[in-house]
Chains A and B, each alone.
Chain A
Amino acid sequence: MKVTVDGIQVDLPAGTSAIDAVFHAGRDVPYFCAHAYLSPVGACRMCLVEAGTPRKGKDGEFELDEATGQPRVFWMPKPMASCTMQATEGMHIRTARTSDVVAKAQAGMMEFTLLNHPLDCPTCDKGGACELQDRAFEYGYGASRYGFDRRHADKHYALSDFIILDQERCIHCKRCVRYFEEVPGQEVLDFIERGGHTFIDTEEGGLPVGFQGNIADICPVGALLDNVARFRGRNWEYDHTPTTCTLCPVGCSITVDARNGRLERVVAGENRDVNELWICDAGRFGHVFATEERLTVPLVRVGGELREATWDQAVEAMRQGFLGHGGNVGLYLNADSTLEEGAALVALAEAIGTASLDHWPRYAHTPMSTATLTDVATADAVVVLGADLGEEAPVVELRILEALRGGLLPPEFAHGTAIADLRLTERPSRTPEKLAVIGRESRLWGHAGIRVAASGPDALTRLARPDTPELQAALRLLEGAGKPVLILGADVLNGADAAFSAALGSLAGRVGAKVLALPAGANSRGLGGLNLVPGAGGMPYARLDGVGAAFISRLDPAAQGLPGRARGFTVVHDTHLTATAGLADVVLPAVTGYEKRGTTINLEGRLLPLTQAPLRAGEGADLIRALAAVAEALGIRPPVRGLRGAQTWLEGRYGLRLAELPAGGLLQPPRPAQDAATGTAHTPNLWKPRMVPHPERRGSGVLGREARTELWELPMAPAPRPGGDD
């Protein structure tokens, strides 16, 4: 299909919207309501273009211009909204760059849009990153001809604890309404009243927790704002770090906005294969732990209490403590650690000769996953077995709902994801009959056509040999589908073993289903692939009191009701003074997942890069450097001393090339993980205790004037000298 934009001819697939044709041709059109992952509605009327098409005569051929012999273009009488107009064969489009009519129409629309906009950009958190601001500058008149009073409405309307609505700033683009209806499938927000009195509100009193934060990202103006980051900084002051979220195994792309060494805001990044453009509320708002009550210096137990110390003193204390334990040292790390950190730990364990190494959370046995998130989104039947996706991997829930909506993956153009995908419709019809949920009640139940209450790993055997009509229906759904996906969660995986895997394999093979076993931790799949599990005679994490000395990185067994200390000597490496750290002999400061460089493997086996955000971490060190200190204390040469060394180690042993990963990640073939008993069950929990934001606890971190004027007298002049300083 050939389309001409401002005289530039582009070749496009049929069904492309005119706005995508314009952007694909490298031209620009302002828009507010169109959004790459939402249905085009043409609410804002900013994307006006002049459009004309050739007309076919009675003979079925294009009517030709007699002068030129080319098809004659019949221009539409008025400018058209390009986001809802489909480009057709031979269409001609003129943007504001070549058409004065379009330029005038767009400037006029901008004047209408700004009619009731308060223009309080200096106080608005969106200022500097505001689509309305930019577009008004580029396409507006620069002044308004309307002198009357603007609309006044509530400027501080808290839709929920996390989202603040400024009704004056809203330009009625309807993105948030469409987002809730189309993406998480929740009909909560809507327009109320009409015309200039229109405002956005919810009848329910609050927004549903889960994915509400995304509306702050997609709002083109400063009407819906992140309350956790409210007034924390202006957009140009933040240090933006694109990285990967390590709170759950999905591995969403995020941008970490830090200011002055404090993490102030997390916004979603785009990764078409993983999270599209959506992240969960825990990933967006649960970042406060990274800046609050951080452990910044090592602590050493002296005379029964932990005292601040230097790293040298901590290494000396560890050297004393490890004496006499020989190889009876256990090494334990959190499953959200990077592959490089896992490699450093495995290499050190091999150098010591200990079999007690473990990551947590994990399952004793993990079946092989073959499905990707794109497979989930395009599946024609999804069966969820024993998973509470809201706690385990929230974004998988959105991809399942995408499958129920038809599984349309947005097309890609020269400008990236399609801005207006005309196949998406407002208030989409869903097909709940394509989803079966077997397990405990969860948020996904409301969307499922088949719901079966079940618990424990025998849910799979019950599905394979159904004993109730619902289970029979679920099995029929799998059997009748062309590309079914089976999603397994913690409830079934906690008791899984090799027999379970065999049963799963035979069921999946029989119905032709792909399997997605949700890993327990953010990087459990990667660390399991490194065989970071207890070897023969080694102690798992739940039995760490069985080893003589233990090194525990960013885990809190004492708070879980597990033994928090090794038999003899315990070193804890953590970002906060946890219950386990309070029991330890030496506490080393760690860094959070936002401050690491490295690589993680998400639930579908995709290598995703982590980048370091500039946060104030004091003397905190990542696990690789902390393990080097442990090796020094043990009197051995650390086998892996830095990130590069760990990547070389991984390349040598597993052939993983991690140094230059593409931004969207790299899919890895599944690698079987070794089985090892855990000794305890994993309970998925997305919101960890320190993640809940407390607005009153968010101090500035800047030294108050009181602290500075305490030293009103100069230290160099202890006694006042008469006659001043001269």
Chain B
Amino acid sequence: MSVLDIAKGMGITLSKLFQKPVTVSYPEERATLQPRFRGRHVLTRHPAQRPGELGLEKCIGCSLCAAACPAYAIYVEAAENDPQHPTSPGERYAKVYEINMLRCIFCGLCEEACPTGAVVLGNEFEMADFRYRDLVYGKEDMLVGVDGSLPQRREAARSGKPVRVGFKVPEGARPELEGVEYPT
């Protein structure tokens, strides 16, 4: 190897020093995601009947997502709607809806199986946590309107600052993700 070769190599290094970096300094900077990125599930709602109210949940607790799940990550337990204060349209709603995010392989088959379009794979991916049971997400963690993942909300509750997600979706969330907004 000659001195010339070393100088060539150093020249490349030097030229890259003045170019815009391709890396993103996540998490200070937001990572850019495509809308079709498959992340944490969102349980969507129907549009509200009256402004200011929450719409009915689309999920009817039919367990077809659990049947389609190749990783056996979903557990659904249904119950009967109170006719005066229904949770979902029809007779049946999901009383328990849990997805074990450690088991989930984010394949999207649950979304395909869902007859009402209730479970949709969102774009959130920052779910790293310490305890197994904190990675079993319930309805409280997945219904539309819940910001961030469980560790992010825990951090926000501790620091008193709003939840900050570490990604952006320049094209906006998919239309299937009814009511979900991500930073653009």
| Interface set of A (CB-CB < 8 Å, partner B) | 120, 122-123, 127, 155-156, 230-234, 236-237, 700, 702, 705, 708, 712, 714, 716, 720, 724
Instruction: Flag whether B85 is at the interface (Cβ < 8 A).
Output: no
Which of B60, B77, B79, B133 has the most C-beta atoms of chain A within 10 angstroms of its own C-beta? B77
Tell me whether B96 and A712 are in contact (CB under 8 A). Answer: no
Bound form: Cα–Cα A155–B92 in Å: 12
Selected contact of A231 from candidates B80, B130, B140, B157, CB within 8 Å: B80
Q: Which residue of B lies closest to A700 (CB)?
A: B77
Tell me whether B158 and A123 are in contact (CB under 8 A). Answer: no
B56 contact set on A, CB distance < 8 A: none
Min CB–CB distance A256 → chain B (angstroms): 19
User: With A230-B80, A702-B96 in contact, do A237 and B66 touch (Cβ < 8 Å)?
Assistant: yes
Bound form: Cα–Cα A237–B158 in Å: 40
User: With A714-B131, A720-B158, A724-B155 in contact, do A705 and B138 touch (Cβ < 8 Å)?
Assistant: yes
Bound form: Cα–Cα A234–B63 in Å: 7
In the complex, chain B residues 41-76 whose Cβ is within 8 Å of any chain A Cβ: 60-64, 66-67, 75
- Could you write out 12 A-B pairs with CB less than 8 Å apart? A123-B91, A230-B80, A231-B80, A232-B78, A233-B77, A233-B78, A237-B66, A700-B96, A702-B96, A702-B98, A705-B140, A714-B131
Min CB–CB distance B136 → chain A (angstroms): 8
Bound form: Cα–Cα A708–B137 in Å: 11
B140 contact set on A, CB distance < 8 A: 705
Min CB–CB distance B118 → chain A (angstroms): 10
B130 contact set on A, CB distance < 8 A: 714, 716
Instruction: Flag whether B95 is at the interface (Cβ < 8 A).
Output: yes
Bound form: Cα–Cα A705–B80 in Å: 19
B158 contact set on A, CB distance < 8 A: 720
The DSSP consensus for interface residues of chain A is loop
Instruction: Flag whether B103 is at the interface (Cβ < 8 A).
Output: no
Instruction: Flag whether B34 is at the interface (Cβ < 8 A).
Output: no
Tell me whether A155 and B63 are in contact (CB under 8 A). Answer: no
**Interface size in chain B (residues, C-beta < 8 A):** 31
A233 contact set on B, CB distance < 8 A: 63, 77-78
A700 contact set on B, CB distance < 8 A: 77, 79, 95-96
Tell me whether A237 and B92 are in contact (CB under 8 A). Answer: no
A724 contact set on B, CB distance < 8 A: 155
User: With A120-B90, A122-B115, A714-B131 in contact, do A234 and B77 touch (Cβ < 8 Å)?
Assistant: no
The DSSP consensus for interface residues of chain B is mixed
Bound form: Cα–Cα A554–B61 in Å: 38
In the complex, chain B residues 103-145 whose Cβ is within 8 Å of any chain A Cβ: 115-116, 130-131, 133-134, 138-140
A123 contact set on B, CB distance < 8 A: 60-62, 90-92
Tell me whether B157 and A712 are in contact (CB under 8 A). Answer: yes
Contacts A127-B62, A234-B62 aside, 6 further interface pairs with beta carbons under 8 A come to A122-B115, A123-B92, A232-B78, A712-B157, A716-B130, A724-B155
User: With A231-B92, A234-B67 in contact, do A122 and B155 touch (Cβ < 8 Å)?
Assistant: no
Q: Which residue of B lies closest to A712 (CB)?
A: B154
Selected contact of B62 from candidates A122, A156, A702, A712, CB within 8 Å: A122
User: With A700-B96, A702-B77, A724-B155 in contact, do A156 and B116 touch (Cβ < 8 Å)?
Assistant: no
A702 contact set on B, CB distance < 8 A: 75, 77, 96, 98
Interface string of B135-171 (1 = CB under 8 A from A): 0001110000000000000110110000000000000
Bound form: Cα–Cα A712–B140 in Å: 14
Bound form: Cα–Cα A714–B155 in Å: 11
Q: Which residue of A lies closest to B89 (CB)?
A: A123
Tell me whether A237 and B90 are in contact (CB under 8 A). Answer: no
In order of increasing CB-CB distance, the 6 nearest A-B pairs are A122-B62, A231-B78, A123-B92, A234-B63, A122-B115, A705-B138
Min CB–CB distance A724 → chain B (angstroms): 7
A237 contact set on B, CB distance < 8 A: 63, 66-67
B139 contact set on A, CB distance < 8 A: 705
Min CB–CB distance A8 → chain B (angstroms): 37
Tell me whether B79 and A231 are in contact (CB under 8 A). Answer: yes
Min CB–CB distance B32 → chain A (angstroms): 23
Min CB–CB distance A447 → chain B (angstroms): 37
Min CB–CB distance B121 → chain A (angstroms): 19
Min CB–CB distance B73 → chain A (angstroms): 14
Bound form: Cα–Cα A720–B155 in Å: 10
A716 contact set on B, CB distance < 8 A: 130
Which of A155, A705, A724 has the most C-beta atoms of chain B within 10 angstroms of its own C-beta? A705
Bound form: Cα–Cα A642–B118 in Å: 50
Selected contact of A708 from candidates B67, B78, B133, CB within 8 Å: B133
B92 contact set on A, CB distance < 8 A: 123, 231
B98 contact set on A, CB distance < 8 A: 702
B157 contact set on A, CB distance < 8 A: 712
B138 contact set on A, CB distance < 8 A: 705, 708
Min CB–CB distance B60 → chain A (angstroms): 5
A720 contact set on B, CB distance < 8 A: 158
User: With A123-B90, A155-B91, A156-B91 in contact, do A231 and B61 touch (Cβ < 8 Å)?
Assistant: yes
Which of A123, A234, A720 has the most C-beta atoms of chain B within 10 angstroms of its own C-beta? A123
B60 contact set on A, CB distance < 8 A: 122-123
Selected contact of A236 from candidates B67, B78, B79, B131, CB within 8 Å: B67
B61 contact set on A, CB distance < 8 A: 123, 231
Bound form: Cα–Cα A127–B61 in Å: 13
Tell me whether B64 and A122 are in contact (CB under 8 A). Answer: yes
Bound form: Cα–Cα A700–B92 in Å: 15
B63 contact set on A, CB distance < 8 A: 233-234, 237
Bound form: Cα–Cα A230–B91 in Å: 11
Q: Which residue of B lies closest to A722 (CB)?
A: B159
B77 contact set on A, CB distance < 8 A: 233, 700, 702
Q: Which residue of A lies closest to B60 (CB)?
A: A123
A156 contact set on B, CB distance < 8 A: 91
Bound form: Cα–Cα A122–B64 in Å: 8
Min CB–CB distance B58 → chain A (angstroms): 11
Bound form: Cα–Cα A225–B66 in Å: 23
Bound form: Cα–Cα A231–B60 in Å: 11
Bound form: Cα–Cα A635–B54 in Å: 67
